[in-house]
Amino acid sequence: MLTLSLLRHGKSSWDDPDLEDRLRPLADRGRRAARKMGAYMERHGLVPGLILYSDAVRTIETLELVLSEFPPPRPPAQPEPALYLAPASTMLEIVQRTPPTVQHLLVLGHNPGMHGLALHLTGSGLRRDIATMATKFPTCALAVLTFDAISWSEVRPAGGRLNRFVLPRTLA
């Protein structure tokens, strides 16, 4: 069984409206949410075996804060520039190229691709979580899906079970 965690970056700062999008940092709210989500993931045994992340500043900052909540040794993390504002189809291709030795993959990226990928892969799960996720995939939200597969190349649309959809505002 494979586990795919999809994490959207934390809330970004718009303090400098002239700043290039890729260079926007996290807002204070985004930093707090990333720490909370990292602590939640660690507490619930959701530390992945590999993390692939967009190379945008806000995504890198989210990653660093999430990782700071994990005990050593921390999972390997690899930048994947193609994840920057990627559509769901590109994200799926990246997921499908993951080595089968990785049992739990975390993808850290952006909307609308993150939301689209989560919806595209979900075939079953708790109706409440699916309905919540269908409505919106807010900043620093986490979707955790499992697949009855032994290779990431077998991951297909509607083939995943949504095990949880976690919103940062629901975390203490």
Average pLDDT, integer, range 116-141: 97
Residues constituting the chain: 172
CATH of the domain at 166: 3.40.50.1240
Residue 135 domain-assigned? yes
| pLDDT 10s digits, 25-66 | 999 999 999 999 999 999 999 999 999 999 999 999 999 999
Number of domains composing the chain: 1
Average pLDDT, the chain: 97
Is 30 inside a domain boundary? yes
- DSSP state letters, 30-93: HHHHHHHHHHHHHHTT---SEEEE--SHHHHHHHHHHHTTSPSSPPPEEE-GGGTT--HHHHHH
pLDDT the model gives residue 17:
86
Question: Is residue 166 in some structural domain?
Answer: yes
Instruction: Answer yes or no: is pLDDT of 134 > 90.
Output: yes
Tell me, yes or no, whether 16 lies in a domain: no
> Does residue 39 sit within a domain?
yes
Q: Residue 49 has what pLDDT?
A: 98
Task: Note the pLDDT of residue 110.
Answer: 97
Q: Which domain holds residue 72?
A: 2-10+21-170
- CA distances (Å), 100 to each of 50, 51, 74, 161, 162, in order? 11, 14, 19, 19, 20
Residue 160 lies in a domain: yes
Query: Is residue 133, in this structure, part of any structural domain at all?
Result: yes
> Does residue 163 sit within a domain?
yes
CA-to-CA dists, residue 78 to 14, 36, 92, 104, 108, angstroms: 26, 22, 16, 14, 10
Evaluate if residue 99 carries a pLDDT over 80. Answer: yes
**Residue 106 pLDDT > 90:** yes
DSSP symbol at 95: H
Mean pLDDT of 101-111: 98
Q: What pLDDT does 138 receive?
A: 97
- As a whole number, mean pLDDT of residues 142-167 equals 97
Confidence of residue 172 (pLDDT cuts 50, 70, 90): confident
